[in-house]
Amino acid sequence: MKEKYIEDLKEIKDIMNRSSRFISLSGLSGVSAGIIALFGAYMAYQTVYTNQDYLGYRSAILTSESLTQLLLIAVGTLVLAVTTGIYFTTRETKKRNQKIWDIQTKRLLINLAIPLITGGILCLMLLFKGYVGIVAPLTLVFYGLALVNASKYTLNEIRSLGLIQIVLGLIATHFIGFGLIFWAVGFGVLHIVYGSIMHWRYKS
């Protein structure tokens, strides 16, 4: 009787968790986003820091041509990361026999989008005004804020990932010349690490 009572409580807890959180995020979407981000960071590095020492302090010099290339790289990286993320998360949702689009998905996306859009607009304004060095750290900070803001509607690991991104962005602000390296660590390495952890922890 006691075991049945405990089992019933566990089932009720799982139902409540599914009804209040979007739990079908795929760890593979994080891994794929990280790999794409590393590739994008490498291409951006070649565009912005051509013929400079990798380990030394670097000065970013942007022409109108290199700025256009940088924006294309950023858009391409974002589109690829979002596309693979949607694919793996949709696949995970179907495996769990859950709805892809419901009230929790809407809440998650809204809370994620507000800091992301705000940070994206600010970074574009700074980029066009020539403040190149601060853009990479700010993207980490605003992305971290977006994850923390949206974490109450999804897996707990998202909150800790967001906090790490914020701290990393603040550190990168102090080391302006190394901003792109910090960006690669935040969007690339951390996504791969957290994606791998989530995949093995929550795989069905």
133: which residues sit within 8 A by CB, 6+ positions away?
60, 176, 177, 179
Total domain count, the chain: 1
* Residue 106 belongs to a domain: yes
First to last CA, the chain: 28
* Residue 142 belongs to a domain: yes
Model confidence at 24, pLDDT cuts 50, 70, 90, reads low
CA distance 112 to 148: 8
* pLDDT of residue 181 exceeding 80: yes
On whether the CB atoms of residues 85 and 32 are closer than 8 A, the answer is: yes
Q: Which domain holds residue 158?
A: 26-202
Other CB atoms within 10 A of residue 177 CB: 15
Other CB atoms within 10 A of residue 116 CB: 19
CA distance 1 to 71: 63
- The DSSP symbol for 54 reads S
* Residue 118 belongs to a domain: yes
Which tens digit of pLDDT belongs to each residue from 43-68?
Answer: 888 877 665 555 555 555 666 777 78
* Residue 12 belongs to a domain: no
Give the mean pLDDT of the chain.
Answer: 79
E strand intervals along the chain: none
Other CB atoms within 10 A of residue 154 CB: 21
* Residue 5 belongs to a domain: no
The packing angle between helices 190-202 and 157-174, to 10°, is 170
pTM, 2 dp: 0.77
* pLDDT of residue 30 exceeding 60: yes
* Residue 180 belongs to a domain: yes
Interior angle at CA 186, CA 181 and CA 192, nearest 5: 115
* pLDDT of residue 131 exceeding 90: no
Predicted local confidence at residue 17, as pLDDT: 46
* pLDDT of residue 109 exceeding 90: no
Highest mean pLDDT among 139-143, 172-176, 197-201: 139-143
* Residue 88 belongs to a domain: yes
Predicted local confidence at residue 172, as pLDDT: 93
Other CB atoms within 10 A of residue 32 CB: 21
Check the CA dihedral 121-123-124-130 and report its sign.
Answer: positive
Tokens of 127: 């980029």
* Residue 173 belongs to a domain: yes
